[in-house]
Amino acid sequence: MAQVKEGDVVKVHYTGKLANGEQFDSSVGREPLEFTVGAGMMIKGFDAAMPGMKVGEKKTISIAPKDGYGEKSEDAIIEFPKENVPADMKLEPGMSLTLSNEAGQPVPVVVVEVKKSVIVLDANHFLAGQELIFDIELVEIA
């Protein structure tokens, strides 16, 4: 039976959880996720788990932050001038917003704190600094 190797296009079903068991994503009930192994389309730890798997095989993997979305970066905590926010916009800690970077690309951020003249925003990926656990089932090697 064929085994996954780097460069193969695969389809997988997966469920992603945090170390505390909280689920953050899943393909269950949707089409399987399709990607090319080793092409950099997936986080490093997920990609690295694929070679050697056979169709129908299931495994659970644990991914350290360095092989997932990285550690949280203090450089991604930004202070945004309150004067640049519409006056009728009520901002509260924990609220998700989307800003645009210099290239016009969307950057998701979370409001950390609302101060008198600035809003403290966290632009880290929401899974940065987290150990991730994935249940993976190989559905197809295309």
Q: Provide the CB-side half-sphere exposure for 67 (13 A, CA).
A: 14
Instruction: Answer whether 9-70+127-141 and 74-122 agree in fold.
Output: no
Is residue 100 within 8 Å of 106, Cβ to Cβ?
yes
> What does the pLDDT look like over 12-45, one tens digit per residue?
999 999 999 999 999 999 999 999 999 999 999 9
What is the percentage of the chain residues whose pLDDT exceeds 90? Answer: 89
Question: Can you give the pLDDT at residue 102?
Answer: 85
Report the run of H or E that residue 47 belongs to, with start and end.
Answer: helix 44-48
Is residue 85 within 8 Å of 111, Cβ to Cβ?
no
Q: Is the sign of the CA dihedral 19, 110, 46, 29 positive or negative? A: positive
> What does the pLDDT look like over 53-72, one tens digit per residue?
999 999 999 999 999 999 99
Q: What whole-number distance in Å separates Cα of residue 140 and Cα of residue 34?
A: 9
- Quote the pTM value: 0.82
Q: Indicate the CATH number for domain 74-122.
A: 2.40.10.330
Is residue 76 within 8 Å of 124, Cβ to Cβ?
yes
Q: Cα 4 to the chain's mean position, in Å?
A: 23
Domain ranges of the chain: 9-70+127-141, 74-122
Fold observed for domain 9-70+127-141:
Chitinase A; domain 3 (3.10.50)
